[in-house]
């Protein structure tokens, strides 16, 4: 199994080195690709200094465009599994083998690392959990699949789903939309429990003011995706 870890990074100079170091010690046999989304800090310089495997955008595309570039790279280089892992240290590379396993066994095409199954580790704020719960409800009524951690950015995709995402992927706030897209396209989505940490550095891409915009945009995106695929199962 050729496994690629995609690490989208926007202004992650504080945490990126640790993330890569932890990744190399926890999973030495997987490849990784850092996607520097036109950071304004020293993210790119750090990648150069440490000779990381990275690509860098000349303009800022947002998380969706960054992850999609990772999927394109995975398709180009024939990886069997592509795993998205955030560059801020929230995701523990020790769980990589857990998120790969269902794909290895051939029982799933998308595996989402969920912090709400065992309810251990960093659980996020009550407001965020409420929003995540609402998206879970929305996705369940739209396509009948239950995903607890709808916004988790720790997820693995099989070769065929990676190919699909390399062509079609939402540009901003893509995580919940990607779930419904995968389900409606007939891919199998499953969750495995993981423990997440609080971010080591940098700032979340979603602040208090943006969260209302986030909820409206993501909910609409899910509903519109459902409307655009009325004939598909769900």
Partner 1 sequence: MVITLRIFLIVCILIYLLIILNLLRKKNLNLRYTLVWLLSGVIMMVVCIFPDLLFEFARFIGVVDPVNMVFMVEGMFILIILLSLTTIASHSNDKIRKLTQTIALLERRIRKLEEGQQAQDLQEEEKCP
Those residues whose C-beta lies under 8 Å from the C-beta of residue 81, and which sit 6 or more positions away, are: 1, 2, 3, 4, 100, 103, 104, 156, 157, 158, 159, 162
Partners of 6 in the beta sheet?
33, 84
Q: How far is the CB of 57 from partner 1 (least distance, A)?
A: 5
3-state helix, strand, coil in the chain (%, to 5): 45, 15, 40
Nearer to partner 1, 44 or 92 (CB): 44
Handedness of CA 140, 222, 233, 158 (dihedral sign): negative
Residues that bind partner 1 (rule: CB under 8 A) add up to a total of 16
Q: Residue 127 in contact with residue 179, Cβ under 8 Å?
A: no
Q: How far is the CB of 107 from partner 1 (least distance, A)?
A: 31
* 171 sits near partner 1 (criterion: CB under 8 A): yes
Nearer to partner 1, 25 or 60 (CB): 60
* 163 sits near partner 1 (criterion: CB under 8 A): no
Residue ranges of alpha helices (H) inside 36-195 are: 43-49, 63-76, 96-104, 126-143, 159-167, 175-184
Q: How far apart are CA 210 and CA 128, in angstroms?
A: 12
* 10 sits near partner 1 (criterion: CB under 8 A): no
Q: How far is the CB of 224 from partner 1 (least distance, A)?
A: 13
* 72 sits near partner 1 (criterion: CB under 8 A): yes
Q: For partner 1, what does the binding mask look like between residues 40 and 69, x meaning CB under 8 A?
A: -------------xxxxxxx-x---x--xx
* 110 sits near partner 1 (criterion: CB under 8 A): no
Residue 138, Cα to own-chain centre: how many angstroms? Answer: 19
* 76 sits near partner 1 (criterion: CB under 8 A): yes
* 87 sits near partner 1 (criterion: CB under 8 A): no
Nearer to partner 1, 130 or 216 (CB): 216
């Amino acid at each position: 199994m050729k496994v690629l870890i995609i690490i989208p990074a926007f202004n992650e100079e504080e945490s990126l080195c640790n993330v890569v170091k932890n990744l190399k010690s926890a999973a030495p046999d997987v490849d990784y690709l850092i996607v520097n989304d036109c950071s304004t800090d020293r993210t790119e310089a750090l990648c150069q200094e440490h000779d990381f495997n990275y690509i860098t955008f000349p303009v800022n595309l947002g998380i969706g465009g960054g992850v999609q570039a990772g999927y394109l790279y995975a398709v180009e280089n024939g990886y069997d599994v592509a795993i998205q892992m955030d560059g801020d240290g929230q995701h523990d590379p020790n769980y990589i083998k857990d998120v790969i396993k269902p794909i290895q066994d051939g029982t799933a095409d998308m595996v989402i690392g969920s912090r709400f199954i065992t309810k251990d580790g960093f659980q996020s704020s009550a407001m965020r959990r409420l929003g995540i719960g609402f998206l879970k409800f929305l996705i369940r009524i739209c396509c009948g699949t239950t995903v607890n951690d709808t916004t988790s950015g720790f997820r693995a995709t099989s070769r065929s789903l990676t190919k699909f995402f390399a062509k079609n992927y939402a540009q901003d706030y893509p995580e919940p939309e990607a779930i419904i897209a995968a389900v409606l396209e007939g891919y199998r989505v499953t969750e495995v429990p993981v423990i997440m940490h609080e971010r080591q550095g940098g700032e979340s891409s979603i602040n208090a003011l943006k969260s209302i915009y986030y909820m409206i945009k993501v909910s609409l995106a899910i509903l519109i995706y459902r409307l655009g695929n009325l004939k598909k199962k769900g």
